[in-house]
Amino acid sequence: MRVKVLSAAVLVAAVAAAPAAAFTNPQIPGLQVALHARGFYRGQIDGIAGPLTAQAVRDFQRSKRLHVDGLAGPQTRRALGRLGRPLFGSRPLARGAIGWDVSVLQFMLTRRGAAAPRLNGNFGPGTHAAVVRFQRRVGLAPDGIVGPATRAALLGRKIAVPSRRPPSVVYRVRNGDTLAGIAARYGSTVAKLARANRIRSPNVILVGARLVIPNPAPRMPSGATADEVRAHIDRWAAHYGVDARLARALAWMESGFQPGIVSPVGAWGVMQITPATWDFVTTVLIGFPVPRTAEGNVRVGVAYLRHLLREFRGNERLALAAYYQGPAAVRARGLLPESREFVADVLALKSRM
């Protein structure tokens, strides 16, 4: 989710006559910290565009011989130096980042009860620890990376990501399959599959027939530890010639290395594989069944990632977007806004994995 800035400039003009809390903007703490660091703002870092903030902007503009309009536009923000940009929401944040957006992050963490030790625009170990505390509290993967989901939680919003997973899948019956076995595999029941496919005799299904699996929810064991998951990723990344850091970052972004996760629309495991992708990879790319274990899920996900990297000629950005929104959609529509954020977060994680 991209943070919508209220204006091309961060507005603080014409508020002196208004009540202090009458106008707020999630970007204002970043402005206040930057002005404070330059010695122009001596009020409280409160996120309110009040008279002190407006006056500090005008005083700073005069000192730099800028047009005095009270608007913290691009020129004013550039003059503020490293703490004057980028705006919050324009990039993922991780340890080592410095800037306006880090100041906003630190302020929001404080407001959400996970205070960073300082409001200084520097993403150090204290801010990292505060982010992890906040992520754990709201049920997000505690990776210390501030991506779209963490930003949305800090802003008190729900992240709106269009479903990239189908509500149902089509399964081709193989030799030895039974309707009961297929139902168990996809977390369904014989009765549901029989109704969805108008099967009169559940004991008789034809090899090669296509079955619609409505609302699949595959079940898998969840006993693998994070260290075991990492070892599986490294093994299969080496096997398939994929950068292990990229595979780890993708797995962490998808599940936080948690093999027991099942999404509401059926994506499951460490790599969040849909039943349709599982069947494609095992049937077409690998050519034989793969155990439905944590390691099997990792193998299928890494094999699919290699396939996408080849399809997009080694372009990691396009391959990750295709993993997220589907290769056909990437070719037809390019990267959706949500995909761009997903890709940026995975690539940011890659440098830390």
Catalytic residue annotation: 254
Q: What are the phi and psi torsion angles at 66 (to 5°)?
A: -95, 165
Q: Running DSSP on this structure, what letter comes out for residue 257?
A: S
Indicate the burial class of 274 (C-beta count within 10 angstroms; 0-12, 13-18, 19 or more): buried
How far apart CA 275 and CA 293 sit, in angstroms, is 14
Residue 86 preceded by cis peptide, ω within 30: yes
Place of tokens 């077409």: 284
> Both ends of the chain: CA-CA distance in Å?
24
For the chain, how long is the longest CA-to-CA vector? 84
Q: Which of 76, 95, 94, 77 is nearest to 86 (CA)?
A: 77
139, 44, 132, 49: which is closest to 93 by C-alpha?
132
Identity of residue 69: D
Give which of 95, 88, 99 is closest to 128, Cα–Cα: 95
Residue with tokens 């094999």: 303
Cβ 294 vs Cβ 257: under 8 Å: no
Q: At which residue do the structure tokens 């296509």 appear? A: 210
